[in-house]
Amino acid sequence: MYDQNNIFAKILRGEIPCKKLHENEHALAFHDINPQMPVHILVIPKGPYTNLEEFNAGATLEEMGGFMKLVAEAASMAGVNETGYRLVANNGADAHQEVPHFHVHIFGGRRIAGRMIKAQD
């Protein structure tokens, strides 16, 4: 069940501010409030989807396409499209998803130490 009071829902309603990078009809890209890398962008769909399962079940192909297009455009606008970047979606409890509104992180701006993300116990 989607929580209408989660922090990203409040950002989408304009109730709390964000440092917006880019948006289109279906998605919004903004800077993470606690950046883990020189470039740390969050991209969220504008629809009420808790996770990828809800996004897959409820979003139209136009919403899905608009979301993915914004991920690519945000990476380009953040200046990491040529140097490279890592996309991460923490999805659900086992992945420690904190905000219950589906989102993708764009990490970049420096060389990431490990070639692969390692799952740590």
Shortest Å, Cβ 87 to ligand 5GP: 12
87 is an interface residue for ligand 5GP by CB under 6 A = no
Binds ligand 5GP (CB under 6 A): choice among 3, 4, 15, 33: 33
Residue-wise DSSP of 10-59: HHHTTSS---EEEE-SSEEEEE-SS-SSSEEEEEEESS--SSHHHHHHH-
Shortest Å, Cβ 42 to ligand 5GP: 6
Binds ligand 5GP (CB under 6 A): choice among 6, 24, 81, 97: 97
| Whether 106 contacts 75, CB under 8 Å | yes
- Separation of alpha carbons 104 and 88, rounded Å: 6
Tokens of residue 99, six digits: 């905000």
- Separation of alpha carbons 119 and 11, rounded Å: 30
94 is an interface residue for ligand 5GP by CB under 6 A = no
5 is an interface residue for ligand 5GP by CB under 6 A = no
Binds ligand 5GP (CB under 6 A): choice among 1, 25, 34, 117: 34
| Whether 40 contacts 104, CB under 8 Å | no
Query: Annotated active-site positions, please?
Result: 103
Binds ligand 5GP (CB under 6 A): choice among 18, 21, 39, 80: 18
Residues lying near ligand 5GP in the complex (CB under 6 A) are found at 7, 18, 30, 32-34, 42, 90, 96-99
